[in-house]
Amino acid sequence: MRDSLSMPLVQVEDLKMHFPIYTGVFRRHTGNVKAVDGVSFTIQAGETLGLVGESGCGKSTVGRAILRLYEPTAGRVVIGGDDIATLDAETLRKKRPAMQMVFQDPQASLNPRMTLSAIISEPMVEHTAMTAEERQARVFELMDAVGLNRRFANRYPHEFSGGQRQRIGIARALALNPKFIVCDEPIAALDVSIQAQVVNLLEDLQDKFGLTYLFISHDLSMVRHIADRVAVMYLGRIAELSPRDALYDRPLHPYAEALLSAVNEPDPNRARRERIILKGDVPSPANPPKGCAFCTRCPKVMEICRVTRPELAEVQPGRFVACHLYTPAAGSTGATEVPEHYQQGETT
């Protein structure tokens, strides 16, 4: 464990993904949608990092840019020692087996004209020199691992239910024994009863094969169930990155606090935080606020928030927050009410 701590499996540094906007008759480049604007985190081997945030905050874009399904605008993505963001096409192709992806919509991520067995064996066709029999044997092995009946091997995706399709997608991702899997909202399109099955399957597989997950989701209770550490994203940046229990017990960033206050608690007797309702809308990622991305809606906004962009910094052991409430330099000039977090923020 010590060993892996020194060298994380996945290391993302200042990842930026800007999509250009072209307007007018001449399609001039007039701006950028800053879907991901400087995201950094690391994932240790065997760990699950949850990535949460509201719709449009750039979660999925992070997942896709890490696997270089998009060409990142800037930044480094080091997986297992290689910088994915700058590899040339052929080296990247050789590297693909180590990193795979499970997609959000199990219907759309399976080719309707291929049989289940053809879908699962596609990675093997691309990357190994296995014979057809060896591939078939491996397909059966994988189907057993994800809990699909072997008799389904020659059926087509439309003949399956949503949960079964997601299992097919997982089996395909597992085919080449990857180390790292990006789960891009793998449960968002499933029934609640199936969601638990799929998440438990992912956990079992993690134990069995020693996988590392980046688990992207907007379902906070599911993330609490599966993740070891959680990153909260807002408008293309990470607001807070903390161990799961610490984050859910006491979120530090005002946005994380508001987001987590929205989680429903099934037990009515349990004491609950008061629901924080944010006003206004998320600013456009094409034109984010100058300072902190959250300054337009933050209940604890200060003067400095509108001017300077807070950097992600470690405020407690293992807890990273991008907020001026916790940076020593920040004055209390704009704070109208004294937040409870003050004790950590003000050291001077």
Identify the helix (H) or strand (E) that includes residue 14: strand 10-23
Residues that bind other proteins (CB under 8 A): 64, 67, 69, 92-94, 96-97, 100-101, 103-105, 108-114, 122-123, 126-127, 140, 144, 149-151, 153-154, 156, 158-159, 169, 172
* 129-164 burial code (b ≥16 CB/10 A, e <16): eeeeeebbebbeebbebbebeeebbebbbeebebbb
- Our CB check for other proteins shows the closer of 118 and 276 to be 118
**Pairwise CA distance, residues 122 & 141, whole Å:** 15
Q: Residue 213: which of 245, 243, 238, 179 has the closest Cα?
A: 179
CA atoms within 13 A on the CB side of 20: 8
> Rounded to the nearest 10 degrees, how much is the dihedral formed by the CA atoms of 312, 12, 256, 54?
140
> Rounded to the nearest 10 degrees, how much is the dihedral formed by the CA atoms of 180, 185, 191, 194?
10
> Rounded to the nearest 10 degrees, how much is the dihedral formed by the CA atoms of 190, 194, 198, 203?
130
**Pairwise CA distance, residues 345 & 40, whole Å:** 22
Its sign, for the CA torsion 181, 235, 253, 324, is positive
Would you say 238 and 75 are in contact if contact means Cβ atoms under 8 Å apart?
no
Q: Residue 160: which of 95, 112, 201, 197 has the closest Cα?
A: 112
The DSSP secondary structure of 201-269, one letter per residue, reads HHHHHHHHHT-EEEEE-S-HHHHHHH-SEEEEEETTEEEEEEEHHHHHHS--SHHHHHHHTTS--S-TT
CA atoms within 13 A on the CB side of 235: 20
Q: How far is the CB of 269 from other proteins (least distance, A)?
A: 43
Counting every residue written for the chain, the total comes to 348
**Pairwise CA distance, residues 119 & 113, whole Å:** 10
